Structure 1
Amino acid sequence: MGIFTRMSNMIKAKVNDTLDEMEDPVELLDQKLRDMDEQFNKAKLSSAQILGNVHEIEKKLELAKKESEDYDQKVKLALSKGNEDLAKRALAKKVETDKKVSSLQASYDNSKTQAETLKANLRALEEEITKTRNYRDEAAARFANAEASQKVNEVLANVQTKSNSIQIDSIERKIQRKESLAQGLGELRDLDNFDSEFEKLDEVDLDLELAKYKTNS
């Protein structure tokens, strides 16, 4: 199990242990992000050190290879001059340097592989942090909406309880009674007007009656 897998499992375990203890899940996600950022920075520092070692080994390897080539040229030069003893000593140096090259090459390959693995893990962790941060923002919005909806529903539930409910049917009956009363009063007023018209017909025209008296006298 790699270091990042263990680190991820530790964070998940901490999240699971804390989940039931924290009322606000956004605070939990914020804490998780802080933990992930801390682990990422530590891993990045370790990776930088390993990458530094890789570059250092690479420089030593290049120097050793160049030194081996130099001894190879010296062996050839000594042989061309007929000095086998000098050629033999140069060859011994080359053999020793080649062993050093082999050792450095193995160290370089191992460190290079380790560095590449660490860089891949760092990229994966960085992507995980980005996804977690995006989810945190989404979760914060959803949690805020849920809280707002809960408060609205609590208010509505309180308004709609029996003790606070408004009896719509009762109000409707009162309005209808009021409307019926107003309609009845209107009809009575129209009846009064109707009777008044007939009463006017029965009224005596005094001027007409006086004229009749004048004619008969």
Structure 2
Amino acid sequence: MGIFSRFTDIVNSNINAILDKAEDPAKMVRLIIQEMEDTLVEVRSASAKTLASKKEISSQIRKVQVEADDWRAKAQLAISKDREDLARAALQEKKKCDEHGVMLSSELAVVDEQISKLQNEVGQLQDKLADAKARQKTIILRQKTVSSRLEVKKTLDSGKVDAAMGRFEQYERKIDDLESQVDAYDLGKKTLADEFADLESDEEIDNELAALKKSMQANTSTNKK
């Protein structure tokens, strides 16, 4: 099983648990990032063990090759001493070493393939983790913004704002009433400006009355002639 298939199972199970509990997206994002980080730690630990196995297998291959070369040298020595029986036995041992070496080489090839896949998947997971962390702040900010908008919508739909505006209108009407009461106390009372305005008005009437009398007297004198 690859990293991502295992990681997907873990994340999906946690997401389902979050949705069942109606958790918020910010917590979900943090959980996903935590799972990715935990997976990286586990995979790096597994990679270290795999690399250690590779070193051990490589060491065994070198040892088997040395043994095979040693048995070949012994076979050559036996032939030089006309001991074909010993040479045959030495070559049998060399064959066992060669077969063991082939088996170890096959194991090494499998380990190398596993290491290559691990490195590739770890690289992908690191990229995804970096992308998730970069987008985490944006997701959290969007969540806060949407939550704020939702609260505003709830407040508006609940009628609280309309009720508050209604109270404002009541207070305005009360103030209007108080102002009317204050104005009522001032009715019939003349200010200094009102007194001067009355004097100016009386003077205009007196002047107009005098002019009218003068005009009538002039007309009467004309008619007598």
Band the TM-score falls in, shorter-chain normalisation: 0.5 to 0.7
Q: Deviations along 1:59-78, whole A, 9 cap, x unmatched?
A: 21122223333444454565
Matches within 5 A, 1:138-217: 138-154=138-154, 160-161=161-162, 164-165=165-166, 195=201, 198=204, 201=207
Aligned partners of 1:35, 1:126: CA distance in 2, in Å? 12
2:6 maps to 1:6: yes
Matches within 5 A, 1:1-217: 2=2, 4-76=4-76, 79=79, 84-154=84-154, 160-161=161-162, 164-165=165-166, 195=201, 198=204, 201=207
Letter in 2 for 1:109: A
Is this contact kept in 1: 2:3–2:121, CA < 8 A?
no
Q: Which moved more, 1:102-111 or 1:3-12?
A: 3-12
Is this contact kept in 2: 1:65–1:98, CA < 8 A?
yes
| Cα distance change on mapping 1:197 and 1:79 into 2, 3 Å | farther
TM-score by length of 1: 0.65
TM-score by length of 2: 0.64
| Cα distance change on mapping 1:91 and 1:28 into 2, 3 Å | same
Q: Alignment partner of 2:91: what SS?
A: helix
Q: CA deviation at 1:162?
A: 5.7
What are the ranges of 5 or more consecutive residues in structure 1 without an aligned counterpart?
Answer: 175-187, 205-217
Aligned partners of 1:87, 1:192: CA distance in 2, in Å? 151
Q: Alignment partner of 1:22: what SS?
A: coil
Q: Deviations along 1:27-73, whole A, 9 cap, x unmatched?
A: 12222322332233222222221221011101211222233334444
Identical positions, percent? 22
Is this contact kept in 1: 2:61–2:104, CA < 8 A?
yes
| Cα distance change on mapping 1:203 and 1:75 into 2, 3 Å | same
May I ask how many residue pairs the two structures share in their alignment? 188
Q: CA deviation at 1:96?
A: 1.8
Aligned partners of 2:108, 2:60: CA distance in 1, in Å? 10
Aligned partners of 1:77, 1:117: CA distance in 2, in Å? 47
Match of 1:180 in 2: none
| Cα distance change on mapping 1:196 and 1:109 into 2, 3 Å | same
